[in-house]
Structure 1
Amino acid sequence: MADQGGSREHLIPTITTKPPEFPPTQFPFLSLVLWFDQSNRSTALLSWSVFFLLVVIVPMISHFLLVCSDCDFHHRRPYDAVVQLSLSIFAGISFVSLSIWSRKFGMRRFLFLDKLLDFSDKVRIGYEAEIQRSMKRLMIFVLPSLTLEAIYRIWWYISGSQEIPYIINPILSHVIACTLQLSSWLYRNSVFIIVCILYQITCHLQTLRLDDFARCFASEITDVGSALAEHQKIRRNLRIVSHRFRRFILLSLILVTATQFMALLTTIRASVAVNIYEVGELMLCSLSLVTGVFICLRSATKITHKAQSVTSLAAKWNVCATVDSFDNLDGETPTASMIEAQITPCGAFDTSDDEEGEGDDDLDNTKIHPIYANTISYQKRQALVTYLENNKAGITVYGFLVDRSWLHTIFGIELALILWLLNKTIVNIP
């Protein structure tokens, strides 16, 4: 549990024995997450103050004071309410989720960093590399929308400087307003994408653990109990991840679909003009929100597919070990020619290099060595396979397994809504 007082907790566990400590500065993304830290009163007050300023106050002022109802059609903003409401709702859900997780678990425990020393070196290195890449992913998802929004805002203030309301000095007033609006846009998009990337990180850790677990089928297995215990640990962690993120995933999925329908119902009204100047910002907002949802769904479906591939790999391992058993040798020591002859039938199950699947299907192409599999009996192998078949792991949302059928269905719905809105935007470019 995170400390409730004093200075901010370190995101990386303090190591007092052999391995060195990983400072938070080594991971820029985790240092960024510290801005949402709720471990003590001072950081909580700062976080909530910035939240209310950029998520509530600035959007309200921007909408009601800069509505510009008397401006020409290029500078009117009939869809501003939908844009501001959508971004603020998602930022609110994300910030509240981060606050709850920070107070309840602490970010170190939330990201399983306190358990990192219990994993293999390959898992630790892969997890640290994933965290290192997270900041780059955040920039990739946030900066393009911020750049387009900045271009639009600067053009809007410069071209409509005589029509847009101002206080005292038009230039100073517009510069301050533009800066606050861009800061609000950046903050609201970033906090939503940050939560989505945190979900991606935690899912990736479990994917690495599943990969590590699957490698035991290509080596000598002498203790089925250890394999069962490791799989149970992975299933427990997957249940923990599913439980922590289930409200965020479900609310995001429902609300992003609702906002897309609301945007479409607004744009298809006959009394409302639709052009790139008025709908462009709405389109940009929709793309940002849908992108965040698909980051989460793709991470969930990827780990579910990986968990199901482990079960398939175990069944393949059992078949190869059974078909290529050395029972007919009656205790004789196998020669090299015998071993080669026994391996051949199992290799027939492997696909050719030209037919291998892509990254998500790499476990299906794992080559099994039946020599190693003979170190345990058929009954034990069959018991292990039966257990895996009846205890499939994966990410769930309130008991519903998030697999590729989910992703395909939701992707089809969201893509149709996005393309419809994009069509309404592009075809009316003057």
Structure 2
Amino acid sequence: MDAERATLIAKRKKISRTISSVNDELHSFRSWLQWMCVDQSTGCTFCLSWFVFFIFTFVIPILSHFYLACSNCDNRHTRPYDSHVQLSLSSIATLSFVCLSQFVRIYGLRRFLFLDKLCDESEAVRRNYTEQLNSSLTILFVFVAPCFTAEAAYKIWWYTSGATGIPFLVNAMVSDAVACALELASWLYRTVVFFLVCILFRLICHLQILRLQDFAQVFHVDSDVESVLKEHLRIRRHLRIISHRYRVFIMWALILVTVSQFLSLLDTTRSKADLSIFKAGELALASVSLLAGLMILLRSATRITHKAQGVTCLAAKWHVCATIESFDPDTETPTATGVTRNQVFPLSDNDDAGSEDELDSTKLIPAYAYSTLSFQKRQALVSYFENNSAGITVFGFMLDRTSVHTIVMIEMSLVLWLLGKTLVFS
């Protein structure tokens, strides 16, 4: 009777974890999506979402470029690179909005963030993931606020210093204020949509990192091979799901950012290019913003791949320690299983371990408690890990540190060259 009652309580907790409610842990995220007009849960919000998207992504940038660029202004107020800025931000915002709309409409926010799977995780994973979820919007603000401050300062200077005077609202000052506010709102909308998708990817990857760190505990208890394999296969399945959902966004984000950097570089290194902080500063700011979002994606994917590869190293170390402990150092014959003996190697030292965790630790594993597994089973498990590497992939290409280092060097070279050309006061 008690067992049935416990099973019933567990099922109720699982159902309550799976079902979405108004005041659950996604309340702030839903409010943010509604405020950004990205929520498409109803027919009205769907139409409003796409209307706001077209206004801030296409209509305002087009009007800004063709009617507010001020081609007759003085030399300091001309904007020769405005087309690059508008195309870069609008293209990446279109990609982000379409992908985010697909994610929310097809999977739902709760399922997309794997919150419906938290009932199967440990208490530590649930607690840490909830904390990371609550701090995600703060991380988004940290990335967007400095860029928006610089963009706002530039726009306010451009309008208040007499760059334009188009009286489409009878009064020139009111017209300039409205135009400046619309341009800033368009820039903020496009940038936030891009960073929001990147932050969501970072959040999902952080959950998998927590699961991998929790999975590392199986090598510190007497676990059987079947349970270890089932858990690792479950993690690999979720990593494949994440890769499948985000592969189009990652690939096109990489293509769009790289093409944007190349075009900007080619345009700013012309022989007749007139560069200064007033003319090309907005272009440099857009490049830095796009690169920052791309680095969030690549770093999150790389951390997942690194942690997944760390499982293989941990399993090999566990196998070695268990093998050494299962033989008598004098006769080199197997000892009785489950017998506690002194370790062949010291398990700890006084050196500073830095930021090591269970997957990166260089300390040996006390194997006396795990000698119930035979050598053949341990060897088979290690062989499985070696031949079934997990991580984030994009159409079959693993995003590990080697590939990301190559991408980062290319992108950083382009951006640093652009900044070097921009930060020259004339």
Q: 1:382 to 1:256 in 2, by over 3 A?
A: same
1:345 is matched with which residue?
Answer: 345
Once residues 393 and 305 of structure 2 are traced to their aligned partners in structure 1, the CA distance between those partners, rounded to angstroms, is 9
3-state secondary structure, aligned to 2:271: coil
CA separation of 1:264 and 1:330: change in aligned 2, threshold 3 A: closer
Q: Does 1:169 align with 2:171?
A: yes
Which residue pairs with 1:324 in the alignment? 325
- Counterparts of 1:76-87 in structure 2, within 5 Å, are 76-87=78-89
User: Quick one: distance in 1 between partners of 2:402 and 2:176?
Assistant: 48
Check if 1:398 corresponds to 2:395: yes
TM-score, with normalisation over the residues of structure 1? 0.89
CA drift at 1:130: 1.0
Give the structure 1 partner of residue 377 of structure 2.
380
Residue in 1 aligned with 2:308?
307
Task: Give the aligned partner of residue 286 of structure 2.
Answer: 285
Alignment of 1:44-63 (within 5 A): 44-63=46-65
The CA deviation string for residues 253-305 of structure 1, in whole angstroms up to 9 with x for no partner, is 11101000111111112223111000000000000000000000000000100
Aligned 8 A contact 1:25 1:31 in 2: no
In structure 2, the residue matched to 1:139 is 141
Equivalents in 2 of 1:57, 1:415: separation in Å?
A: 31
Kindly report which structure 2 residues correspond to 1:22-421, keeping only aligned pairs within 5 A, or say none: 23-24=23-24, 28-34=28-34, 35-160=37-162, 163-167=164-168, 168-221=170-223, 223-325=224-326, 328=333, 331=336, 334=339, 339=341, 341=342, 343-345=343-345, 347=347, 353-354=351-352, 356=353, 358=355, 362-365=359-362, 367-421=364-418
Q: Structure 2 vs 1, CA of residues 261 and 17 (structure 1 numbering), >3 Å: closer, same or farther?
A: closer
SS of the aligned residue for 1:274 comes to coil
Root-mean-square deviation (CA), in Å?
2.4
1:429 alignment counterpart: 425
Q: What percent of counterpart residues are identical?
A: 49
1:56-106 alpha-carbon deviations (Å, 9 max, x no partner): 111111111001011011110000000011000000000000111112111
Whole-Å Cα distance in 2 between the matches of residues 331 and 15 of structure 1?
Answer: 46
Give how far 1:16 is off. Answer: 3.7
Amino acid of the residue matched to residue 429 of structure 1? F
Q: Give the deviation of 1:380 after TM superposition.
A: 1.3
In 1: Cα distance, 2:137 partner to 2:221 partner? 36
Structure 1's unaligned 5+ residue stretches are 1-12
1:145–1:284 contact (8 Å) kept in structure 2 = yes
How many Å apart are 1:344 and its aligned residue?
3.5
Q: Which residue identity is paired with 1:252?
A: A
How far 1:31 sits from its partner (Å)? 3.1
TM-score normalised according to structure 2 size: 0.90
Unaligned ranges ≥5, structure 2:
1-12
Does the aligned pair in 2 maintain the 1:94–1:248 contact within 8 Å? yes
Partner of 2:9 in structure 1? none
Question: Aligned partners of 1:187 and 1:130: how far apart in 2?
Answer: 24
CA gap 1:164/1:233 in 2 versus in 1, 3 angstroms:
same
The number of equivalent residue pairs is: 407
Amino acid at match of 2:303: K
Residue in 2 that maps onto 1:3: none
Q: Conserved in 1, the CA contact under 8 Å of 2:243 and 2:393?
A: yes
4+ residue runs over 6 A deviation: 17-22
**Residues 40, 101 of structure 2: 8 Å contact kept:** yes
The alpha-carbon deviation at position 30 of structure 1 amounts to: 4.8
